[in-house]
Every structure is written in C-alpha cells, then in structure tokens.
Amino acid sequence: MIEYIVAENIDDRILARSSRLLSEGGLVAFPTDTSWTVACSLASKEGIRKLKRLSGERDERHFTLLCSAIAQIGDYCALDNTRFRLVKRLTPGPYVFVLRSHLGTEKALDIRRKEVGVRIPDHPVPRALVNALGSPLYSVTAKKAMAAGSEEGFGAADAEEIAEGGLPTIPEEELFEGGWELEAIEGLELVLDTGEERPRLLSTVLDLADEEPRVLRIGAGAWPA
C-alpha cells in the first residue's frame, strides 16, 4: 500500500502507523537522498529475517543502519574522536561508514562480520521514521530484482571488486525512480511516497574499521571530501 506524504511535514498518524508496522516485523519502503530503500526495525528479528530474504544479498555490506543523529551511531558502533569528526563533517549526506560494531549489535543483526555500515541520510523521511520508532532502521537499497522475486548474482566485474576488497555495485537500471514502482515488491507493508522521482544513485561507502579510511564504493558522495 502507498501512502502519499509531504516529506517535510509527515502526518503524525502515518508516522505512528509506520512505526507500528516496523515494530511488528513489517517492511517499509521510502526515499532517501540517493535512491529508494526498504527497511525494517533493528529491534525486530522477524523484520530482519524478512529483509534478508527479500533482498537476496549475500554480502552483508549491502545492508545499512539508518540513524538520525551521530549519538545513535555510538550506541551501536565504535566511534572514537577521529572517526567522529569525519562522520560529523560528512553527515547528513550520501555516505555509508563501515565501523566496528558492538557485540550487542552483531547479535541483534545476526551478522558474521564484526563491522556494520551506518548512515545518516540527508532526507527528512528516513530521519522522521527513525525518530518516531526510537531506534535505527536496518535497510537495503530497493532493487527491481526484488519485484521479480529473483536473487541477484555476481557478475565478473563484481567478482573482481570483491577480490580487491571493494563492494559490489548495483547496476543503475536495477534501481527505482518512482514510489509507485515499488508496489510490485511482494512483502512490503507500506511505501511512503513523496511524489518525487529519485535519482538512481548509490551512496559512497567508506571503511573506517581500520586506521585509515578506505573507499569500498564511490557513489553520490565526493571522496576525498
């Protein structure tokens, strides 16, 4: 079901309904400052299970914690002064920061890696959802393969990127523009549509788990920035 909203002034009833659906293990889709995203509540094991099954992704680095403030990031990941300054300079914006996760975060997400990607989007809808829910969202980029019910495979270029430690990209033609397109994705409880067409862009992913930042994927965010 689609709910048409005004991004800067979302109806409180819609936010309350969205929060309830997320808390009950539902999946909600919405725009960000890059492309469309599908998300669940970080606190819902059922929602996380549904999201992983829907995405078909085998690389956990495609999943991202969406936060509304830097203070939230520190609750789930290790964030020292150096990393804090970099994150503060680049947020909100089209950047994902891969950070070492706290033990509780690994258990909650049932992930094999000891790192997790976090992001503060420069778009009012995801930030409003996080604030209404009271905790971060676990998210993945919405892809047309989800609507087709098929899993994406890695091509030769992806295999090369993985071998070099990079993050496999998603072809532009796999990304959505309009919210109405996401109605074809089975398993979504709600699509929040601002009526805007989103650019088919991906975020820039920076690995901050080691001493020096390392680029895993160049996207909409400039680097060096």
- pLDDT tens, 104-151? 887 778 777 789 999 999 999 999 999 999 999 999 999 999 986 544
User: Is residue 43 situated within a structural domain?
Assistant: yes
The per-residue pLDDT for 11 is 96
What pLDDT shows up at residue 156?
35
| Among the listed residues 76, 40, 41, the one whose alpha carbon sits nearest the alpha carbon of residue 55 | 40
User: Stretch 93-101: mean pLDDT, rounded?
Assistant: 95
Q: How confident is the model at residue 167 (pLDDT cuts 50, 70, 90)?
A: confident
Any domain includes 21: yes
**3-29 tens-digit pLDDT:** 999 999 999 999 999 999 999 999 999
User: So what's the pLDDT on residue 111?
Assistant: 74
Residue 223 located in a structural domain: no
Overall number of domains in the chain:
1
- Residue 60 domain-assigned (yes or no): yes
Phi/psi at 160 (5° precision): -65, -40
Distance of CA 202 to the CA centre of its chain: 10
pLDDT over threshold 70, residue 165: no
pLDDT of residue 41: 96
- Is residue 47 scored above 80 in pLDDT? yes
Domain that holds residue 155: 2-217
Token duo for residue 99:
């950070």
* 29-40: pLDDT as tens digits: 999 999 999 999
Domain CATH number, residue 140: 3.90.870.10
pLDDT at 32: 96
Q: Is 225 inside any structural domain?
A: no
Asked, for residue 87, whether it belongs to a domain, the answer is yes
Higher pLDDT, 196 or 84: 84
Average pLDDT over residues 50-60: 88
The whole-number pLDDT of residue 114 equals: 85
Residue 73 lies in a domain: yes
The set of residues, in sequence order, having a beta carbon less than 8 Å from that of 183 and lying 6+ positions away, is: 2, 191
Residue 32 placed within a domain: yes
The DSSP code sequence of 16-52 is: HHHHHHHHTT--EEEE-SSSEEEEEETT-HHHHHHHH
For residues 5 and 12, what is the distance between their CA atoms, to the nearest angstrom? 11
